[in-house]
Chains A and B, each alone.
Chain A
Amino acid sequence: MTERLDGPQAPGGDELAAGGSPGPAETDSDVARPPATDTDTDTDTGADTSADTATDPHPADTTGAATAPRPAGGTATTRLGPSPKMAVLFLLPALLLLAAWVIYPIIYSIFRSLFDAAGDRFVGLENYAAIFSDSGTLTTIRNNIIWVVVAPLIVTVLGLIFAVLTERIRWATAFKLILFMPMAVSLLAAGVIFRLVYEQDPDKGVANAVITTVHDTFSSSQGYPGARPRENDQAPVVLKDGDVVTRQPVQPGQQVLIPLVGLKPDAVKDATPAKTAAAGGLSGTVWLDVVHGGGGTVNQIDGTEKGLAGVTVEAVADGKVKATTETAADGTFYFSGLPAGSYDVRLPQSNFEAAFNGLTWLGPTLITPAIIGAYIWVWAGFAMVLIAAGLSAIPRDALEAARIDGATEWQVFRRITVPLLAPVLLVVFVTMVINVLKVFDLVFIIAPGSVQPQANVIALEMWRVSFGGGGNQGMGSALAIFLLILVLPFMIFNIRRFRRDER
């Protein structure tokens, strides 16, 4: 974690060590430094080693355990280096800013969270109690839990899969750039991008366009909602439990006419004119028995009447479906090879249901999964690049040896690659958890105003309650502190990891 930049030639090496068992981590970070030293400054070494040895025996520095066990350098510079006053000068701007903009606000927020909305009345832990009793904030917490459980895991797993797969292709760099690109894009722009992707209308939103296309490929139902037989005694078909069924049983060799009404002319504006089916077998025509502008004979196919394409037609005998077919563009259908007998021809109800129109991504039910999808789009590249760096540092010999011993690719992956990558995977996962806890922009942008209560997360609620019209800074402070408490374990995780790596 800590020394990753000093060895750009092999960034993965340190990555791998970070978070690993203390043994390897120690050697790795120690090894990382000297090579650069050696190669860069061959000419200087003479003078320097003497300086080192001269100063080394001096009593160890006063700064405590962390620096003491370091190899020579740390202490050596001390003697030559400037006074602590100099350090103050160098540190002053940074420490002032950090104190005033980060540390003071933490303290202030702790106090502020104990007061009411206006800040006049001390309310103790009431704001915190409200977080866990108000149904709105409970939804918020529930959403955050979903986010933390789902998003980091998917991002890490996808990153791992992509990193492993790209090892085998020549255009790996291009692939990585493509997946990585969303990281450069603002989350606002990503939000706008996904608002477009998730548009409800399949003619606008690409997600629903793809889904409806796939759906229509596998289910031929065109959907003629509202189509029905005429409700009079002359009509050859009747409505029965939602299905359209022939009034009289029919035999193969007969022409079955199925005239329907109840569709708007627009619905069949591009349809082919209906035709009489070719003779032979059991055949017939399903058509819209209405002439635009009036005229025509009822229950007969007139020249301009439109055939209904893609209607599912069943031949039923003794209550069982014996054959199924579908109407052609001109509305004709034909059952081939049907044994002689008497059948009911039936158009099942599914023909008359509304066409599948895609999913309501931005509705209350799917909103959080939809936003998590956008989040994954943004972050998978990040996980992939980190994991790929770790992957490139895995010793090839170990993998080759296993392969020669007859291990399958899956076994190599499962038993060697993943365990060796575990430290990197942990770093990616933890980074994602921290990031997910603070997720704000994507939810704010993608969730339409009316659905925001269902999509809400803590970071957004904090802003909403204190600035976005809520006006309750006591509650806002409590939520901010709550958020801080949630990231506290990771703060400790970082500090501990750093201290271990330094040693």
Chain B
Amino acid sequence: MTTLTEARHARAIERGLLGRLADRIGGGLVQVALVLIAVFWLVPTLGLLVVSLRGEKENNSTGWWTLFTKPAQVTFENYSNLLASGFTSSFWNTVLITVPATVLVIGIAAMAAYAFAWIDFPGRDAIFLVVIGLLVVPVQIALIPIAKLYGALDIFGSILGVVLFHVAFGLPFAIFLLRNFFVGIPRELLEAARMDGAPEWRIFVTVVFPLAKPAIASLGIFQFLWVWNDLLVALVFADSANQPMTKALQSQMRQFGTNVDILAPGAFLSLIIPLVLFFAFQRYFVQGLLAGSVK
């Protein structure tokens, strides 16, 4: 027994000297490799930013990286042109679509999740399994039928139609995420409230909702990003008066080369708010990811 541990120790020490040297070198290589990877990941976005800050003539003649040797190229002309061109209205459309779609999903899904987690009713588990099944349903399946439906309801092209579509397709994930959080809430809290005779909606609002803040934050940021960044749904259901930024930019893609002075600043403006939100709430973002990597 002792000889075994001694042998182990001897080997560990022997490894220790050589091993530490190898670790040093290896560690250095890892650092360098990771720096390179990080640069690799940053450069494309940096390129977009720099291109958006250079005039049409410069972008057509030299690479954006020359900006670092000739910083005088920087101009905000692209941005001022873009804002003057009516791009702001599509920005507001994005906001008008995203905010209601996010708030509605949170509210509706929280109610449903509460029922799935804390109210017992026949068929509960079967229905919840259906919701889980719906998690992976591609939106493509609904484009044609819902376009017909919206035509009949006369909301085709409207912001309302886009919002409702996003709410419906956001629900399975939202219910799934919140329900799983709600079942983890200490039973005693709810039952104490129920014993006190509090009505169900009040338990929901005063006990469950405040406790679920982290989950709601996760869900909120996810839904916000999905809707804000969506192109396909807007492409089908939003007409040109109600189109969000993604669709407005997509319509400029056909002449990519000549429209870079619109596309680059537009794309950059469209990703600023998601990026700010992402950095502000990245903790919740990661939690949400960990909770539901299925969609």
Interface, chain A (partner B; CB < 8 A) = 1-8, 11-12, 15, 32-33, 36-37, 40-41, 44-45, 47-48, 51, 61-64, 66-67, 73-74, 76-78, 80-82, 84, 86-88, 90-91, 93-95, 97-98, 100-106, 108-109, 112, 162, 165-166, 168-169, 174-175, 177-189, 192-197, 202-204, 206, 209, 377, 381-382, 385-386, 389, 404-406, 409, 427-428, 430-431, 434-435, 437-438, 440-441, 444-445, 448-449, 459, 462-463, 466-467, 473, 476-477, 479-481, 483-484, 487, 490-491, 494-495, 498-499
CB contacts (< 8 Å) of B91 on chain A: these are: none
- Encoded as 1 (CB less than 8 Å from any A CB) or 0, chain B from 34 to 56 comes to 10011001111101100100000
CB contacts (< 8 Å) of A90 on chain B: these are: 111-112, 114-115, 119, 200, 204
In the assembled complex, how far is the CB of residue B144 from the closest CB belonging to chain A, in whole angstroms? 5
Q: Is the CB of B187 within 8 A of A102?
A: no
User: Please, how many angstroms separate the alpha-carbon atoms of A194 and B267 in the complex?
Assistant: 12
In the assembled complex, how far is the CB of residue B185 from the closest CB belonging to chain A, in whole angstroms? 8
Q: Is the CB of A203 within 8 A of B62?
A: yes
Q: Is the CB of A204 within 8 A of B63?
A: yes
**Which A residue sits closest to B149, measured CB to CB?**
A100
Q: Is the CB of B231 within 8 A of A188?
A: yes
Please name 26 pairs of A and B residues whose Cβ atoms are closer than 8 Å in the assembled complex, sorted by A: A1-B292, A3-B184, A4-B180, A6-B180, A11-B291, A47-B195, A63-B123, A64-B126, A84-B119, A90-B204, A97-B168, A98-B172, A109-B144, A109-B145, A185-B271, A185-B275, A186-B271, A186-B274, A193-B45, A206-B44, A206-B63, A209-B65, A381-B41, A480-B141, A490-B294, A495-B132
* Other 16 A-B pairs with CB < 8 A, given A168-B30, A178-B38, A188-B270: A1-B292, A4-B290, A5-B215, A5-B290, A32-B184, A44-B186, A62-B122, A93-B112, A98-B172, A181-B41, A184-B225, A184-B271, A188-B231, A196-B47, A444-B231, A476-B143
Q: Is the CB of B119 within 8 A of A101?
A: no
CB contacts (< 8 Å) of B80 on chain A: these are: none
**Which B residue sits closest to A479, measured CB to CB?**
B140
Q: A91-B111, A466-B143 are in contact. Are A86 and B200 (CB under 8 A)?
A: yes
Q: Is the CB of A184 within 8 A of B277?
A: yes
Q: Is the CB of A102 within 8 A of B168?
A: yes
Q: A94-B108, A185-B229, A186-B229 are in contact. Are A81 and B250 (CB under 8 A)?
A: no
Q: A97-B171, A188-B267 are in contact. Are A102 and B134 (CB under 8 A)?
A: yes
Question: Which of B133, B145, B188, B249 contacts A495, CB < 8 Å?
Answer: B133
Q: Is the CB of B290 within 8 A of A463?
A: no
CB contacts (< 8 Å) of B289 on chain A: these are: 382, 385-386
Question: Which of B63, B190, B228, B290 contacts A11, CB < 8 Å?
Answer: B290
CB contacts (< 8 Å) of A64 on chain B: these are: 125-126
Interface SS, A side: helix
**Which A residue sits closest to B8, measured CB to CB?**
A404
Q: Is the CB of A431 within 8 A of B146?
A: no
**Which A residue sits closest to B281, measured CB to CB?**
A184
In the assembled complex, how far is the CB of residue B175 from the closest CB belonging to chain A, in whole angstroms? 6
Confirm or deny: B78 has a beta carbon within 8 angstroms of a beta carbon on chain A. no
Rank and list the top 9 A-B pairs by shortest CB-CB distance, nearest first: A6-B184, A101-B168, A186-B229, A184-B278, A84-B121, A94-B112, A105-B145, A90-B115, A105-B142
In the assembled complex, how far is the CB of residue B3 from the closest CB belonging to chain A, in whole angstroms? 15
CB contacts (< 8 Å) of B295 on chain A: these are: 431, 434-435
Confirm or deny: B241 has a beta carbon within 8 angstroms of a beta carbon on chain A. no
Confirm or deny: B68 has a beta carbon within 8 angstroms of a beta carbon on chain A. no
In the assembled complex, how far is the CB of residue A346 from the closest CB belonging to chain B, in whole angstroms? 36
Question: Which of A84, A459, A494 contacts B294, CB < 8 Å?
Answer: A494
What is the total number of residues of chain B having a CB less than 8 Å from a CB of chain A?
A: 129
**Which A residue sits closest to B187, measured CB to CB?**
A73
Confirm or deny: B192 has a beta carbon within 8 angstroms of a beta carbon on chain A. yes
CB contacts (< 8 Å) of A202 on chain B: these are: 63
Q: Is the CB of B108 within 8 A of A93?
A: yes
Question: Which of B111, B140, B177, B293 contacts A428, CB < 8 Å?
Answer: B293
User: Please, how many angstroms separate the alpha-carbon atoms of A477 and B97 in the complex?
Assistant: 26
**Which B residue sits closest to A177, measured CB to CB?**
B282
CB contacts (< 8 Å) of A100 on chain B: these are: 149, 168
Q: Is the CB of A51 within 8 A of B195?
A: yes
**Which B residue sits closest to A8, measured CB to CB?**
B287
Q: A44-B192, A47-B195, A105-B146 are in contact. Are A487 and B138 (CB under 8 A)?
A: yes
Q: Is the CB of B231 within 8 A of A82?
A: no
CB contacts (< 8 Å) of B159 on chain A: these are: none
Q: Which of B26, B115, B146, B260 has the most CB of A within 10 A?
A: B115
**Which A residue sits closest to B288, measured CB to CB?**
A5
User: Please, how many angstroms separate the alpha-carbon atoms of A428 and B77 in the complex?
Assistant: 43
User: Please, how many angstroms separate the alpha-carbon atoms of A179 and B31 in the complex?
Assistant: 15
Q: Is the CB of A181 within 8 A of B108?
A: no
User: Please, how many angstroms separate the alpha-carbon atoms of A336 and B215 in the complex?
Assistant: 75
In the assembled complex, how far is the CB of residue B18 from the closest CB belonging to chain A, in whole angstroms? 12
CB contacts (< 8 Å) of A175 on chain B: these are: 34, 37-38
Q: Is the CB of A206 within 8 A of B43?
A: yes
Q: A44-B192, A180-B282, A189-B48 are in contact. Are A87 and B124 (CB under 8 A)?
A: yes
Q: A40-B186, A90-B119, A188-B250 are in contact. Are A76 and B191 (CB under 8 A)?
A: yes
In the assembled complex, how far is the CB of residue A97 from the closest CB belonging to chain B, in whole angstroms? 4
Q: A36-B184, A169-B30, A431-B293 are in contact. Are A47 and B136 (CB under 8 A)?
A: no
Q: Is the CB of A386 within 8 A of B290?
A: yes
CB contacts (< 8 Å) of A473 on chain B: these are: 144
Q: Is the CB of B30 within 8 A of A2?
A: no
CB contacts (< 8 Å) of B192 on chain A: these are: 44, 47-48
Confirm or deny: B118 has a beta carbon within 8 angstroms of a beta carbon on chain A. yes
User: Please, how many angstroms separate the alpha-carbon atoms of A430 and B232 in the complex?
Assistant: 23
Question: Which of B200, B232, B274, B293 contacts A441, CB < 8 Å?
Answer: B232
CB contacts (< 8 Å) of B112 on chain A: these are: 90-91, 93-95
CB contacts (< 8 Å) of A381 on chain B: these are: 41
User: Please, how many angstroms separate the alpha-carbon atoms of A59 and B289 in the complex?
Assistant: 38
Confirm or deny: B169 has a beta carbon within 8 angstroms of a beta carbon on chain A. yes
Q: A98-B171, A179-B38 are in contact. Are A87 and B121 (CB under 8 A)?
A: yes
